[in-house]
Amino acid sequence: MNSTAEDHAPSAWTVRTVAVRNAMASENSFWVLYRQHTEPTYLEDAGHGQLPQRDAALEYVNRWRVCLDIGSNIGQWTRPLAKRFDSVICFEPNPVFRECFKRNITQKNVVLWPYALSHKEHRAQQDFNSTVLKKGNGDIKCRTLDSFGLTNVDFVKIDVDGFEVPLLKGARDTLTRNTPVINIEMKRDKRSDIVRQAEKILKDLGYEFKIRTKSDEVWLKT
């Protein structure tokens, strides 16, 4: 069922409710919260949500059971993924993005978890409408991907803006057991050291780089 995994911890932010409209009016209609916005805002055309990256990655998928959308934001990847996979499990720690997500995503085969994924359980900080996690004992709850014990995972999309290394460290067992196709954002010009560390973890797990589309890379288990 959509968005059943709710966090009952108090939020540092208050999201003002605005009139709900049909977010499924078109494939590209979404509630968004970009940096210039102070509340969820409905756009009739919010774009295709990185269609070239998604299409390139899905070419490598052979089975369509469980997909993980890590850093799901407002759900622009989630909506098309839910049409292809039996189940889509999403992770989005920012409560204001989750507010948009729940308005955008109506498919019943989607579950949204309100956590950041890291190498251990801890707390972190995140600004109002930022995708970047910061160190510190804040309101964002972090868990490892391995703690969920997921099975039948065939595809993993990772977009966590600099938190790739802690995430991968906490996902070793899941990736080893399931050997999914991985689509991971790797900003080589902006975060070269993080990319090198993430590459090493993936290679240690037996993964091999296949293709790069813009800043997204596809990695397959060899």
Which residues have a Cβ under 8 Å from the Cβ of 189 and sit 6 or more positions away? none
- What letter would DSSP give residue 11? P
**Is residue 172 domain-resident?**
yes
**Is residue 146 domain-resident?**
yes
* Alpha-carbon dihedral sign for residues 208, 92, 149, 80: negative
- At residue 135, the pLDDT reads 80
**Is residue 176 domain-resident?**
yes
Residue 84 CA to residue 96 CA, distance in Å, equals 26
- At residue 33, the pLDDT reads 85
**Is residue 7 domain-resident?**
no
What are the pLDDT digits (tens) for 26-37? Answer: 789 999 888 788
- At residue 132, the pLDDT reads 81
Q: Report, in angstroms and rounded to the nearest whole number, the Rg of the chain calculated over CA atoms.
A: 16
CATH number at residue 137: 3.40.50.150
What are the pLDDT digits (tens) for 161-206? Answer: 999 999 999 999 999 999 999 999 999 999 999 999 999 999 999 9
What are the pLDDT digits (tens) for 117-163? Answer: 999 999 998 876 778 877 878 889 999 999 999 999 999 999 999 99
- At residue 202, the pLDDT reads 98
**Is residue 148 domain-resident?**
yes
Q: How many domains does the chain have?
A: 1
**Is residue 1 domain-resident?**
no
Residue 187: give the domain boundaries. Answer: 49-221
Query: Which of the pair, 2 or 12, is modelled with greater confidence?
Result: 2
pLDDT at 17 over 60: no
- Which amino acid, one-letter code, is at 182? I
- pTM (2 decimals)? 0.88
**Is residue 170 domain-resident?**
yes
Which token pair is 55? Answer: 């299409």
What are the pLDDT digits (tens) for 59-86? Answer: 999 999 999 999 999 999 999 999 999 9
Residue 144 CA to residue 156 CA, distance in Å, equals 15
**Is residue 70 domain-resident?**
yes
